[in-house]
Amino acid sequence: MFLKGKLRHRIVLSSLIALSVIPATFCGTGASAHSDVFSNYSLNRAKQIAQQDQKLLLVEFTASWCPPCKEMEASTWTDEAVRSWIKENALAIQIDVDEDEKTSAALKVEAMPTLVLYTPASGSREFGRQVGLISASELLRWLEGAKSGKSAEDLEKELAGSNTSAIWERMSKARELDSAGKSAEAFEEYVWLWGNLKDEDPNLGPIRSSMLPVEMKKLAAVNSSAKGRLLEMRDAAEKADNRHDWIILNGMLDDNARTLAWFDKAKSDSRQLSVFRKHTALLEPVLFSASRWSDAATYLYPEPLARINEYYKRAQDMKKPRPHTEMARDFDPFPGMVLLLYGAYIGAGREVEAQKIADECLRLDDTAGMREALGGMAKGMRQARDLQKKGAK
């Protein structure tokens, strides 16, 4: 269910960008009051009962320290329409992420509240999920839609709002055409999306740089006209000096060699350093796939300790409570942010600087997770570096 997962995930991430204040009434530290809308069953037992009774199963992942969860306790779960609907049509249970870490980890729950829904048709397979505070009316619309037989993608599109309905319609149409073997028509739908999605959109922009390139590359591999369109799009991006799109389009065309050739020419011009920095996320996989770790260290991360501190500030901001979402207490994006930077210096053989980077990471975040991440990256990169040396002999 890529569409529902991606959209909701991005909505959550976008909510982490703006600083907000949690109402004081929801900032208590005591355990949440357990609404009687929830039954006291384990997840496995609840699945069995829901299937037996042919009802929806709604699972809320919560925590006693989660302000948005407390707000839902005080609003959504006390709403009489919600309570009546669940009593008639569904089984609902609550799982505290601190008390049942195994289930929370198995379902990859990282933010609270998270609502996971199962339907009689989906069985033990998740039908869909919502992350963040959801109002009574929104919840009922979601549940009613699931009961009526609508797909998870259709429901997600409806909840996303009318402003993005055209986007989701095009995505659904592209998938249908692709499934029907109409690759040229499907490709045209993706081209429309490529032209109409904005990279700066926190909710939909990531789809443009992640999902669309995968789908378009797949179609271009089996359709010569699609490949021709990609070549035209790449030429247009280069002419417009749109380096962002040009790099992505090179990847779609399996022509990262062109990106590397530009990079090698540009790196002799100090004015291009800002361009490299702007497009670090796009250049990282290109350089690493070519084992160009020295170039990555030198040109993407010329001031590694300063960059590490930038990552740390960003990670700390991501962990802050928001009005509609609370991240898990053990959620720590920082180790994942620093690994490629650290790995580049290891791969480049710049061990002294790499040690300084590791020391700075541990100064900021001396956790088992960080130590494990750094150790694994160092081991893997040293092995890759040794293999590269052997291959060069």
Whether the predicted pLDDT of 12 surpasses 60: no
CATH architecture of 2-160: 3-Layer(aba) Sandwich (3.40)
Please provide residue 296's backbone torsions phi and psi, each rounded to the nearest 5 degrees: -60, -45
CA atoms of 169 and 157, how far apart (whole Å): 8
Quickly list H helices, 16-94.
Answer: 43-53, 67-74, 80-89
Whether the predicted pLDDT of 221 surpasses 50: yes
Give the pLDDT of residue 323: 66
What is the signed CA dihedral for 126, 130, 136, 138, rounded to 10 degrees?
-100
Q: Which two tokens stand for residue 263?
A: 């990079």
At 131 the three-state DSSP class reads strand
The answer to whether residues 156 and 172 touch, using CB atoms and an 8 Å cutoff, is no
For residue 350, count other CB atoms closer than 10 A to its CB. 18
Whether the predicted pLDDT of 271 surpasses 90: no
* Radius of gyration of the CA atoms of the chain, in A: 24
Burial (Cβ within 10 Å: 0-12, 13-18, ≥19) of residue 52: exposed
Alpha carbon 57 to its chain centroid, in Å, reads 25
Question: pLDDT confidence of 207, banded at 50, 70, 90?
Answer: confident
Tens digit of pLDDT for each residue in 298-341? 999 999 999 999 999 999 988 877 666 767 777 788 999 999 99
Question: pLDDT confidence of 202, banded at 50, 70, 90?
Answer: low
Give the pLDDT of residue 71: 84
Please provide residue 95's backbone torsions phi and psi, each rounded to the nearest 5 degrees: -125, 120
For residue 381, count other CB atoms closer than 10 A to its CB. 23
Q: Provide mean pLDDT across the span 220-234.
A: 94
Global confidence as pTM = 0.63
CA atoms of 349 and 375, how far apart (whole Å): 16
CA atoms of 178 and 217, how far apart (whole Å): 13
Q: How many helices (H) and strands (E) does the chain have?
A: 21, 6
Give the pLDDT of residue 236: 95
Q: Provide mean pLDDT across the span 31-51.
A: 83
Which residue among the candidates 11, 46, 59, 66 is catalytic per the annotation?
66
- In a 13 Å sphere around the CA of 138, the CA atoms on its Cβ side amount to 17
Q: Minimum mean pLDDT among 130-139, 188-197, 336-345: which range?
A: 130-139
CA atoms of 326 and 340, how far apart (whole Å): 27
Which residue among the candidates 7, 69, 167, 283 is catalytic per the annotation?
69
Question: pLDDT confidence of 2, banded at 50, 70, 90?
Answer: very low
Give the pLDDT of residue 229: 94
CA atoms of 192 and 189, how far apart (whole Å): 5
- DSSP conformation letters of 166-217: HHHHHHHHHHHHHHTT-HHHHHHHHHHHHHHS-TT-TTTHHHHHTHHHHHHH
The answer to whether residues 194 and 226 touch, using CB atoms and an 8 Å cutoff, is no
CA atoms of 324 and 339, how far apart (whole Å): 30
List Cα–Cα distances, 76 to 37, 128, 137, 155, in angstroms. Answer: 11, 19, 8, 19
User: Could you state, in order of their start, the residue ranges of all structural domains in the chain?
Assistant: 2-160, 270-393
Q: Is residue 69 flagged as an active site residue?
A: yes
Question: pLDDT confidence of 25, banded at 50, 70, 90?
Answer: very low
